[in-house]
Amino acid sequence: MQHTVLSILFTIFTLNTVAQTHEVLLWTNEAVQNNGIAEPEETKDGLISNISKASIKIWPAENGKADKAVLICPGGSYVVEAAEHEGSLFADWLAKNGITGIVLKYRLPNGHSEIPLADAKQAIKTIRAKAKEWNINSEKIGVMGFSAGGHLASTLLTHYDEDSRPDFGLLVYPVISMGEFTHDDSRKNLLGEKPTNKTIRFYSNELQVTTDTPPTMLLFSDDDTCVDPHNGIMFYDALKQNKVQSAIYIFPTGGHGWGFAGWFEYHEQMKTLMLDWIRKF
C-alpha cells in the first residue's frame, strides 16, 4: 500500500514537473545588436513595453510526448507586445492539446527593422537545438503570429535562413504588406518615418513568397478596420501562385485583436481550425 501511494505521488510530481513553464534568453552575447531602448521593461494589463532582451517561454505539451511545437509572436504595433491574449493563453491551450507552446518576447525594433526578425530566427534555432531535451520533433516546429506579430511571423516564413525555416505557419489578422494596405503604426514603428522603396518591398511579405515558403493558414475578420483583410488575401494569393499548401478563413465579424478572448463569436471555430491545421503537419 505504501509503495502504491509513493508511486502515485511520484507520478503526480513528475507530471507537474513536466508541465512547468520555463524561460530561456535567446542571446547571451552582450555584443549582439542593441535596439537602443534604455527604459526598464514594464508589463501592464498584459502588454509588455520597453523590451530590449529577447527570450522564449515554453509551455511543455502536457502529455509529455515528443510532438509539435508552435512559436507564438504576439502583436502590438511593434511598440508593445500583447503577451497574454496573443501569447500565454494560446501557449497554455496548445499545451493542454499535446502541442508545446512557446511565446517569443522579441526585442522591439525602435528604428532597427532587422532586430525582431533576428530574434525570431534565433528562437527557431534554439528550439531545434533543444528539441530532444524539450520533447519536440525538430521537423514539426511552426510559427504563429497576431497583427504586428503576424507580420513578424510572415517575415520569418519568407526570410528564413537554412536552419531557421518554420515547418508551417498560422497568421491571425496579420499585418503583411508595408505598401498600400499596411497598418500605418506598425510600419512606422518597424521601418521609421521615411523608409526606402527597397526596405518597403523587403518587408512586404506578400512579395517575398516562393515555392519554398512553408504551408500557411490565415484568419481574419471581415469587419477588421485596423488591419485590412487584403493583407491576408494578397499573401494567400501569392501562396497559391507558388503552389504552397494554404488556407484562409475570414469570419463575418470580430473586428481586430480578439486573440484568445472568449467574447469573440467564433472563438470555438477558431480553435478547431487552428488545431486541425497544426495537426496536418
The fold of 23-278 is: Rossmann fold (3.40.50)
- 230-234 — which CB contacts under 8 Å span 24+ positions? 230/177, 230/181, 231/174, 231/175, 231/176, 231/177, 231/181, 231/182, 231/206, 232/171, 232/173, 232/174, 232/176, 234/176, 234/177, 234/181, 234/206
Q: Residue 133 to residues 127, 240, 275: CA-CA distances in angstroms?
A: 10, 36, 24
Q: Considering only CA atoms, which of 31, 79, 74, 69 is closest in space to residue 55?
A: 74
The separation between the first and the last C-alpha atoms of the chain, rounded to the nearest angstrom, is 44
Q: In 236-266, which positions are buried (b, 16+ CB within 10 angstroms) versus exposed (e)?
A: bebbeeeebebbbebbeebebbbbbeeebeb
Q: What's the grid cell of residue 21?
A: 513553464
pLDDT (tens place) for every residue of the chain, 281 residues total: 444 433 433 333 334 434 589 999 999 876 588 999 999 999 999 999 999 999 999 999 998 777 899 999 999 999 999 999 999 999 999 999 999 999 999 999 998 999 999 999 999 999 999 999 999 999 999 999 999 999 999 999 999 998 999 999 999 999 999 999 999 999 999 999 999 999 999 999 999 999 999 999 999 999 999 999 999 999 999 999 999 999 999 999 999 999 999 999 999 999 999 999 999 98
| Run of H or E including 138 | strand 136-146
The pairing of strands 55-59 and 22-25 is antiparallel
How many CB atoms are closer than 10 A to CB 132?
11
Give pLDDT, residue 242: 98
Q: Residue 238 to residues 146, 182, 194: CA-CA distances in angstroms?
A: 20, 17, 27
Separation between Cα atoms, residue 104 and residue 179, nearest integer Å: 26
For the chain, the structural domain boundaries read 23-278
Give pLDDT, residue 18: 43
| Dihedrals phi, psi of 8, to nearest 5 degrees | -65, -45
> Model pTM?
0.92
Give pLDDT, residue 8: 35
